[in-house]
Structure 1
């Protein structure tokens, strides 16, 4: 395997590479190798992970029939078994 030195890399680019390497839990070297392989078309790029802290995307996605079906399917969970609470 060959070694390669990159000259002329600006501080901002290096900082972004380091930040991305930390985010991906990888070394800067491993990240740069992967980016080169992706750029050369030798490795498919990974889809970006989408992390959500909320359920906004699901809001309003059910129609009335979906809500009714859910209510019917979960109705038994609302029933209290009195014998279990004595």
Structure 2
């Protein structure tokens, strides 16, 4: 599976992407991927759907979610020494 990273430098496009993703209830990444699939794949090709974790969505209590957030909080910290040349 390929991974792509891009920057939206056009603020108008950024606003449209964010607005449309909120309207559809999906992430901007899901919106962009779906749009690319619609534009470039044949109608007969099935859109890949990643839903194997759907049963877990919304199943945690607030306490469980808080515990998880606390456990992974350190993952958001960047160790600058690891990124030195």
Normalised by the length of structure 2, the TM-score is 0.44
Normalised by the length of structure 1, the TM-score is 0.44
Determine which structure has more spread, i.e. the larger CA radius of gyration. 1
